[in-house]
Structure 1
Amino acid sequence: MKQALTLVGVFVGSALLLALMPPSVAPKPMKLVKVWETDTTLRIPESVLYDGKNTIYVSNIDGKPDGLDGSGFISKVSLDGKIENLHWTSGLNAPKGMGIYKKRLYVTDMYRLVCINTDNGQAEKTWDGVGKDAFLNDVTVASDGTVYVSDNRNDKIYRLKDDKLDVWMEGEQLNKPNGLLAVGKDKLMIGSTKIGALQVVDVETKTITKVADGMAATDGIVPEGKGTFFVSDWNGQIFHVNADGTKEQLLDTRSNKINSADIDYVSKKKLLIVPTFYKNSLVAYRVE
Structure 2
Amino acid sequence: MKTKHQLLAAAFLSGTLLWSCGPQQKTEEIETVEIVEKTAPTLTQVWETAAELTTNESVLYDEATGTIYVSNIEGGPSEKDGKGSISIISKTGEILNRNWVTGIHAPKGMGIVNGKLFVTNIDELVEIDIANAKIAKRHKVAGAKFLNDVDTDGDKVYFSDMETGKIHIFQNGKISVFAENQTNINGLRVGDDGTLYGLDGEGLKKYNSDGSFTLINSTVTGGDGLIILEDNVFLASRWQGEIYLVKGDEQTLLLDTKAAESNTADIGFIPEENIVLVPTFFKNKVVAYKLAY
Q: CA RMSD in A?
A: 2.0
Q: 2:186 matched to which residue of 1?
A: 178
Query: Are the equivalent residues in 1 in contact too, given 2:125–2:141 (CA < 8 A)?
Result: no
Matches within 5 A, 1:69-80: 69-80=81-92
Matched, 1:92 2:104: yes
In 1, the alpha carbon distance for the partners of 2:89 and 2:194 equals 32
Which of the residues 231, 234, 252 maps onto 2:256?
252
Matched, 1:234 2:256: no
Label 1:21 to 1:279 Cα distance change in 2 as closer, same or farther (>3 A): same
The TM-score, its normalising length taken from structure 2, stands at: 0.86
Query: Are the equivalent residues in 1 in contact too, given 2:237–2:264 (CA < 8 A)?
Result: yes
1:134-191: CA deviation from partner (whole Å, max 9, x where unpaired): 1100111114x111110000111111122101222212xx121100111246421011
Label 1:137 to 1:285 Cα distance change in 2 as closer, same or farther (>3 A): same
CA radius of gyration, larger in: 2
Matches within 5 A, 1:126-165: 126-131=138-143, 134-143=145-154, 145-165=155-175
Percent identity for Structure 1 against Structure 2 = 35
In 1, the alpha carbon distance for the partners of 2:278 and 2:114 equals 24
In 1, the alpha carbon distance for the partners of 2:289 and 2:192 equals 26
SS of residue in 1 equivalent to 2:106:
coil
Query: Are the equivalent residues in 2 in contact too, given 1:186–1:202 (CA < 8 A)?
Result: no
Shift of 1:54: 2.6
In 1, the alpha carbon distance for the partners of 2:141 and 2:109 equals 18
In 1, the alpha carbon distance for the partners of 2:146 and 2:193 equals 25
Query: Are the equivalent residues in 2 in contact too, given 1:178–1:218 (CA < 8 A)?
Result: yes
Matched, 1:114 2:126: yes
Give the counterpart letter for 1:236 in structure 2: G
In 2, the alpha carbon distance for the partners of 1:267 and 1:105 equals 20
Gaps of 5+ in 1: none
SS of residue in 1 equivalent to 2:224:
strand
Q: 2:8 matched to which residue of 1?
A: none
Gaps of 5+ in 2: 1-21
Q: 1:201 matched to which residue of 2?
A: 207
Q: 1:213 matched to which residue of 2?
A: 218
In 1, the alpha carbon distance for the partners of 2:236 and 2:145 equals 24
Q: 1:28 matched to which residue of 2?
A: 39
Query: Are the equivalent residues in 1 in contact too, given 2:244–2:253 (CA < 8 A)?
Result: yes
State the aligned residue count. Answer: 268
In 1, the alpha carbon distance for the partners of 2:226 and 2:266 equals 7
1:66-89: CA deviation from partner (whole Å, max 9, x where unpaired): 111000000000100000000100
In 2, the alpha carbon distance for the partners of 1:139 and 1:277 equals 17
Q: 1:43 matched to which residue of 2?
A: 54
